[in-house]
Amino acid sequence: MKLSAVLVAAYAASATAFAPTPVADRATSTSLNMDRRSAGIQIAAGAATLAGLPSLALADGARSANTQLRSRGIYGQRIAALESAVNSGDFGAVAAEKNAFILFNSGALPKKDQAAAVKQTNEIFAAIRAKDSGALKKAYSAYKTSNEIAVVKVEKNEGQGFTSDLHYFSRTPAGSIYQR
């Protein structure tokens, strides 16, 4: 409440300071009759007014096709690598990769598919809490199938898997460069 009152007062002060002067006053004086104190007050009032405005630059979430592909490559491979842990009933290994599921859901999928993926993720972790390996296998398989997650591996004799150290397949099983 106090801040909004200060902002209103600052706005009013800056508005009156920059109001046009009457024609009669302009004819007699062309200089700015302002001391340092009033100039400082006006600058502070203008800064307070600008600070009170909402931010004009809003982030869009950076949802480009490249960021989705990168997220699918990084987190999708971490999820796909859990196949053996799911088959052996290692609940701890799957629970340790909880962030991979969260980041895959938010980064690799279009907005329209995120709700279904979050529901499937919740089913996976409900099976972990219940220590039900059958339900875990079923939920994990459904998640992988509906989100098209598969292990990507490039063999050294089949071609190049990444082009630089900045590529998301670099230093992973999905990336391999053939060298003679």
Residues 45, 10 contacting (CB under 8 angstroms): yes
d(CA 56, CA 43): 21
Looking at the structure, do residues 72 and 47 belong to the same domain, yes or no?
Answer: no
In a domain, residue 179? The reply is no
pTM: 0.60
Tell me what pLDDT residue 36 has: 79
Tell me what pLDDT residue 12 has: 63
Of 97, 102, 93, 132, the closest CA to residue 120 belongs to 102
In a domain, residue 112? The reply is yes
In a domain, residue 180? The reply is no
| Residues contacting residue 144 through CB under 8 Å, at least 6 positions apart | 79, 80, 150
d(CA 101, CA 94): 10
Tell me what pLDDT residue 48 has: 76
In a domain, residue 156? The reply is no
d(CA 123, CA 139): 6
Looking at the structure, do residues 29 and 7 belong to the same domain, yes or no?
Answer: yes
In a domain, residue 59? The reply is no
The range of the structural domain enclosing residue 14 comes to 2-52
d(CA 63, CA 21): 51
In a domain, residue 107? The reply is yes
In a domain, residue 151? The reply is no
Most distant pair of Cα atoms in the chain: their distance: 92
What domain count does the chain have? 2
**Token pair belonging to 55:** 């931010």
User: pLDDT tens digits, the chain, 180 residues: what are they?
Assistant: 555 655 666 666 666 656 665 655 555 555 566 677 877 888 888 777 777 766 555 555 567 787 888 888 889 989 999 999 999 999 999 999 999 999 999 988 988 999 999 999 999 999 999 999 999 999 999 999 999 998 877 666 665 666 666 677 766 666 666 555
d(CA 176, CA 157): 9
CATH number for 138: 1.20.120.1740
Tell me what pLDDT residue 157 has: 62
In a domain, residue 94? The reply is yes
Tell me what pLDDT residue 21 has: 59
